[in-house]
Chain A
Amino acid sequence: MIRAIIIDDERLARNELKKLLLDFPEIEVIAEAANAVEGIEKIDSLNPDLIFLDIQMPGKTGFDMLSELERAPNVIFTTAYDEYALKAFEVNALDYLLKPVEPKRLADALQKLQIEEDKEPLSDHPISVNRSILNEHDQVFVKDGERCWFVKLSDIRLFESVGNYAKVYFGPNKPLILKSLNALEERLDEKVFFRANRKHIVNLRLIEKIEPYFNGGLLLEMKGGEKIEVSRRQTVKFKEMMSL
């Protein structure tokens, strides 16, 4: 059973979608929200597997709402004709439905979702683990200007502190998110993400090379070619962890 939340500011649009979803017994609509603030509340309290998300809503847009979430659930966007949103979808290959929704397109979108879940069954997530710690299979929604991405934490090789922001390195991209490195460190799984120094958190699984450095420190070369120095203090910790 896939537990879903519908977020749309129009009651009729939500009703219409619920009606369409009656043909898909595997989807259970557990809640509805009429704006981004309500949406965030319900996502945090109910932890759904999937959300249907309208882009244009009063207050915050759907994109803004997602980038505020610690961990992004699976999302299917819904929108009437909206040039700005359509452009975002084209650029980022996000899955979206145009209102009025065609039942066939809805079936395709759900199908795609299920294939992805088969690859990584939801049950894999250890439910007993404290939910505030992000698993490496978790994805985050990152928005930088017009571009946005769903990124698996396991694909992020490096967080770099830039003032109040953190630069997130994955693939060829390095967008900025409004989060401090300290806040990130608290939420990240310390078995995977390691604070190398004051300015960097590295993904231990995406290190290419380790070299000794001045003062008994280390120099890490990441898969993307970035060279990160490990402070002397953290080197001790790093060696401890790696020697296991």
Chain B
Amino acid sequence: MENPRFDPSRTTSGPLIPRMTKNGSRYYWWCQIGGWGTLALLLVLNSTTLEQKLTHKDVEIMLITVLTGILVTHVFREVIRSSGWALLSVEKAIPKFLLGIVLVCIADGLIRIGLADALGLSSMKAEFMTRLLTLTADTGVVIVPWTLIYYLFHYIQISSKQQLDTFKLEALVKELELKTIKAHINPHFIFNALNSIRALIDENPARARTAITELSNILRSSMQAEKLETVTFEKELNIVKDYLALEHIRFEDRLQVEYEIDEDTLDQPIPPMMLQTLVENAIKHGISRQVEGGKVRIVSDFKDDYHELVILNTGVLNGNRNSDGFGLASTKNRLQLLFGQKANFDIREVNDNTVEARVLIPVDMSK
């Protein structure tokens, strides 16, 4: 399975906008009132400190500034929202926002001139263009920070939402992978084994009886595997021995098995059915593809602070591993989920027609 790539454009444009309007609206109005209120207060303070008294005119100018400010920024916000600028990437957003800021400032300037003239607040000394420029620049001082705050707020909100979505998705994928690998026992193997056993019933009834016991052990442990996080290596090894004994019935001389087990490693914990899956892959992709058959070798030993498990098999790694590539990736995930980042799994081709799968599990010294 291909690792599902997270596509931000899909998640952000869909479910995010309604949430923004619902929750964001309250923040928006608090910020608007708070921001412009602070500005009004500053203007009032400014007048009183400069001129020692607060005239009617000062209050009117202050009100015009604040109210037109709220009006134009609110219109600006509606434009931003309806055209989705806050969702754009930074590079795409900057020119749009710059243009928006200029237009908003000019509009604000025009409205303020119009209102000042209508209320007779202007001193009529300066030329129209000069007044417009002054007022536009004056507005700019407020609008630029307003826009920055607005954009940053949404930027942070969106990226944290994206991150959350990514985490959720990854967790889901992991859970699914674990479920799949735990439930995994190859039906092709089961039916082939049953077929071999049926043939053995006449040919070698004693062997047929033990074969049925071996198959039962494997089926039982694959069912129990769903309940357990880890099992001892010894238990898992016994299953693998049963499994290989059954495959030996099938492949006969084409399958040779070698074990090289350090007895002290038998008590180490490993994920249930993991060794089994790896050995099964060694048979499926290695031995069963060789006309002359081959060898499977299982090595378990301590190496530095690790329990090292190696499965060697005759064969070559095939580049095209759609189905089992998933199993291999999730083997590593599963190990790291259980034993931390130090645990590792890799598979590679070593010399002369041999594939080596290697599992490293850090040894817990406290036990």
Contact = CB atoms under 8 A, between A and B. Distances in A.
Given A15-B199, A59-B291, A10 B251 contact: yes
Interface of B: 187-192, 194-196, 198-200, 202-203, 249-252, 254, 288-291, 293
Contacts of B254: 58
B191 A100 contact: yes
Contacts of A80: 187-192, 195
A237 interface: no
Interface of A: 9-13, 15-16, 19, 35, 37, 56, 58-59, 80-82, 98-101
Given A12-B200, A16-B199, A81 B288 contact: no
Contacts of A15: 199, 203
A81 B202 CA distance: 24
Contacts of B191: 80-81, 98-100
Contacts of B290: 58
Given A12-B200, A12-B250, 20 more contacts: A10-B192, A10-B250, A10-B251, A12-B252, A13-B195, A15-B203, A16-B195, A35-B291, A58-B288, A59-B289, A59-B291, A80-B188, A80-B189, A80-B190, A80-B192, A81-B188, A81-B190, A98-B191, A99-B195, A101-B195
B288 A16 contact: no
Contacts of A10: 192, 195-196, 250-252
Contact of B199 (A9, A19, A56): A19
Nearest to A8: B195
Contacts of A101: 195
Contacts of A99: 191-192, 194-195
Contacts, number: 61
B214 to A, nearest CB: 15
A159 B280 CA distance: 44
B195 A100 contact: yes
Nearest to A59: B291
Contact of B187 (A56, A81, A100): A81
A34 to B, nearest CB: 8
Contact of A13 (B188, B199, B288): B199
Contacts of A82: 188
Contacts of A59: 289, 291
Contact of A11 (B194, B252, B291): B252
29 contacts: A9-B288, A10-B195, A10-B250, A10-B251, A10-B252, A11-B252, A12-B249, A12-B250, A13-B199, A15-B203, A16-B198, A16-B199, A35-B291, A37-B291, A56-B188, A58-B289, A58-B291, A80-B187, A80-B188, A80-B190, A80-B192, A80-B195, A81-B191, A82-B188, A98-B191, A99-B191, A99-B192, A99-B194, A100-B198
3 closest residue pairs by CB, A with B? A80-B191, A16-B199, A12-B199
A77 to B, nearest CB: 14
Q: Which of B190, B200, B251, B291 has the most CB of A within 10 A?
A: B291
